[in-house]
Structure 1
């Protein structure tokens, strides 16, 4: 059969195209989910669809479920974005004013281990940047977690006595909610907690960093959870 030069070029280009779209891009036999499947109207076997939450490959899910949960359009859908961040994080994030918090109530840790745990989850130990944020957090604790008396934050004066900064950001306080006469550095107290006093009243307090308390992690910037 006679093939023109142009026809041969078209056949070669078509075969090359089929090879490229069928081949994995990561050098393994695993076929990760690709956005172009949507545009081409193609489907992979759902058993081949894998994705990651927190750098851990999860169990395969139906591709249609993936489309609904992971590829929601962000245009004009602020509520969907927020719910998607919480859903995709894999941990029980709480949305308070557009910031996301993880209230760690199942384990206690000293200040440094608490910071390490938050970082290990892709978050930071809590930094409170305004009166409004402080009010939202305390109101949530009063409503849902009022039996807990102590929560670590990232505040402290470990670098210089009396100069309190948020160690998660390096920024000095621009708002405070201390319980007088605190901070008093009684017995070498250099780390800041949210402390329950009375029945339903929470205030800031400096405390020895080696105490084991519950703590609050936060995610203020949309990072891998939005992807």
Structure 2
């Protein structure tokens, strides 16, 4: 199946909400819903798909959320894009959607930018954060409010 075929399927599946206020295929945690992709996209591609799904690339706000993501991702042998980047100023991490600075207390390990062209942040199955080239294709985590009406109002 092509990337756009997968995207179309994902978008259609996201339109059906279940009893916890999250679309089918999304996990509920506190007041948010999380979609852990099976497909792989570039970081910017992941941002586009998350937006199509009514959300955004996940923004980790506290230890509870960080631990939830780590627990869920640790069951996979994959790396996932999250919404952090330092594309504007090297070493100054911000969230792609809110443009808020990434809190130092949620960063598990400072990304290393080992190839000096890595601006986007991934989280691995050990819960560690790392820089990667934004064009690399990885799985991704989308987030949206559990009550979709919050996004409208």
TM tier, smaller: 0.7 to 0.9
Is 2:99 the partner of 1:167?
A: no
Q: Show the counterpart of 2:57.
A: 125
Q: Show the counterpart of 2:68.
A: 136
Q: Show the counterpart of 1:146.
A: 76
What do residues 15-64 of structure 1 show as CA deviations (whole Å, max 9, x unaligned)?
xxxxxxxxxxxxxxxxxxxxxxxxxxxxxxxxxxxxxxx799x9xxxxxx
CA shift in 2, pair 1:178/1:225, >3 Å: closer
Q: Which of residues 21, 26, 37 in structure 2 aligns to 1:104?
A: 37
Residue pair 2:81, 2:139 contacting (<8 A) in 1 also: yes
* Structure 1 position 223, deviation (Å): 2.4
More helix by share: 1
* Structure 1 position 140, deviation (Å): 1.9
* Structure 1 position 131, deviation (Å): 1.3
Unpaired runs of 5+ residues, structure 1, are: 1-53, 59-69, 71-81
Residue pair 1:85, 1:225 contacting (<8 A) in 2 also: no
Q: Show the counterpart of 2:84.
A: 155
What is the TM-score when the length of structure 1 is the normalising length?
0.54
* Structure 1 position 185, deviation (Å): 1.8
Q: Runs ≥4 in structure 1, deviation > 3 angstroms? A: 224-227
Q: Show the counterpart of 2:7.
A: none
Q: What secondary structure is seen at the aligned counterpart in 2 of 1:83? A: coil
Q: How does 1:2-151 map to 2 (within 5 A)?
A: 83-86=19-22, 89=23, 91-105=24-38, 107-142=39-74, 145-148=75-78, 150-151=79-80
What is the TM-score when the length of structure 2 is the normalising length?
0.78
- How many residues matched? 138
CA distance in 1, matches of 2:151, 2:108: 35
Is 2:132 the partner of 1:204?
A: no
CA shift in 2, pair 1:156/1:83, >3 Å: same
Residue pair 1:101, 1:219 contacting (<8 A) in 2 also: yes
What do residues 88-142 of structure 1 show as CA deviations (whole Å, max 9, x unaligned)?
x3x411011232101111x100000000000011110110001111001111222
Q: What secondary structure is seen at the aligned counterpart in 1 of 2:114? A: coil
* Largest Rg, 1 or 2: 1
Root mean square deviation, CA, Å: 2.7
